[in-house]
Chains A and B, each alone.
Chain A
Amino acid sequence: MANHAAAAHAGHDDGHVHHHYTTTGLDNRKIAVWTFIGSECMLFASLISTYLIYKGKSIVGPFPHTEYVNEAGKVFKPILDIPVTSASTFVLLMSSFFMVLALQAVQLKGKPAPAATAGWWERIQRNSQFWLAATALMGIVFLGFQAYEFTSFVHEGLTIKTNLFGSTFFTLTGFHGAHVTVGVLWLVTLLWIDRTRGLSGANDELLVDICALYWHFVDVVWIVIFTLIYLIQ
């Protein structure tokens, strides 16, 4: 124990990168983020369960997949806009691809530079700022799609108070949107760090890795939401 403490202290004095390894041989920050993701699984499972339990139990419209005519004879078309949501789903999938390339770019920084004859794809794979910015941009575009969707729903008469569908839909997708917002802020912070002092080394790789894990988790939650809410009728 004393040896461990002494070794850790010596590492501190040398100014080396500090790893928070545990007896498992793994960094405790990465264990923490996986545990956090596990707890998030349960949060979203409860929100999705609530949506599914109340699915089809709304008394008044608008409804997600079917038309509704109210007492005054006003017709409400099915409210979900599949083409728009498909586009936003594609955007989020691409953001995951960009995120994994951002992590790879940071990991490649310590490796030898590509040959002078290397193509643009080899060169751009090492540009971490580009991929971090692209991921954050995709996240912002996704949030723009969600803002458009929420606004159009409200204009068409569906609010969180209208019916059970509105309550469960806005709660579930709102929570997901909040997670995307946190992810975008996290990415912008990493981008700022990369622009000011550069992201390189094992510790910085871990910082990007943890952010990437969170971002991919937000993506897989959307994969489930897109199928269960938008496509299954």
Chain B
Amino acid sequence: MSHDAKHAEHHHPTGNQYLKIAIILTVITIIEVWAYYIPALVASPLFNPALIAMSAAKFVIVVAFYMHLKFDSKLFRLLFTGSMIVAACTLTALMFLFGKLAI
């Protein structure tokens, strides 16, 4: 077993840390839904970027801690982030192609 693989096995969070992560995810979700019902916030130009930022935070937390990507082998990180980059580039290119985004 490589050093990378051995290293991965010893640094997983504990049950209490998983519980704290679940509470953080729940709180972010509550803030997202609460914001949706405040018309002044919805009208703000910062509403959509803020929602995307909160969603991205939840995404990263689940991937890093629940999927153990923070503690696992670099190869897994490479496989996932590489695919995510390709996916994000495809999405952005399509948005430009179909006029949803413009420079």
- Residue contact A93 to B25, C-beta cutoff 8 Å: yes
A73 located at the interface, meaning its Cβ lies under 8 Å from any Cβ of chain B in the complex: no
Contacts of A107 in B (CB 8 A): 12
Q: What total of A-B pairs shows CB separation below 8 Å? A: 133
Stretch at the interface among A143-151, A176-184, A213-221: A213-221
- Residue contact A41 to B33, C-beta cutoff 8 Å: no
Q: Mark B63-103, 1 if CB is under 8 A from A, else 0.
A: 10011000001011001101110111011001100101000
- Residue contact A45 to B36, C-beta cutoff 8 Å: no
Interface of chain A: mostly helix, strand, loop or mixed: helix
- Residue contact B55 to A227, C-beta cutoff 8 Å: yes
Given contacts A24-B75, A49-B94, is CB(A89)–CB(B87) below 8 Å?
A: no
Which residues B34-65 have CB closer than 8 A to chain A?
Answer: 35-37, 42, 48, 51-52, 54-55, 58-59, 62-63
Partner of B33, one of A45, A86, A223: A86
Given contacts A26-B2, A45-B87, A97-B19, is CB(A38)–CB(B80) below 8 Å?
A: yes
User: Within the complex, what minimum Cβ distance (angstroms) separates A45 from chain B?
Assistant: 3
A175 located at the interface, meaning its Cβ lies under 8 Å from any Cβ of chain B in the complex: no
A6 located at the interface, meaning its Cβ lies under 8 Å from any Cβ of chain B in the complex: no
User: Within the complex, what minimum Cβ distance (angstroms) separates A132 from chain B?
Assistant: 15
Bound Cα distance A80, B28 (Å): 20
- Residue contact B29 to A220, C-beta cutoff 8 Å: no
Bound Cα distance A212, B90 (Å): 27
Contacts of B1 in A (CB 8 A): 21, 25
Which residue from chain A places its CB closest to the CB of B65 in the assembled complex? A100
Contacts of B84 in A (CB 8 A): 38, 41
Q: Which residues of B contact A (CB under 8 A)?
A: 1-5, 12, 15, 18-19, 21-22, 25-26, 29, 32-33, 35-37, 42, 48, 51-52, 54-55, 58-59, 62-63, 66-67, 73, 75-76, 79-80, 82-84, 86-88, 90-91, 94-95, 98, 100
Q: Which 5 A-B pairs have the closest CB atoms?
A: A25-B2, A38-B83, A45-B87, A227-B55, A97-B22
19 contacts between A and B (CB under 8 A): A25-B1, A25-B3, A34-B75, A38-B80, A38-B83, A42-B83, A45-B91, A49-B90, A53-B94, A93-B25, A96-B62, A100-B66, A101-B15, A121-B15, A125-B15, A216-B62, A216-B63, A217-B67, A233-B42
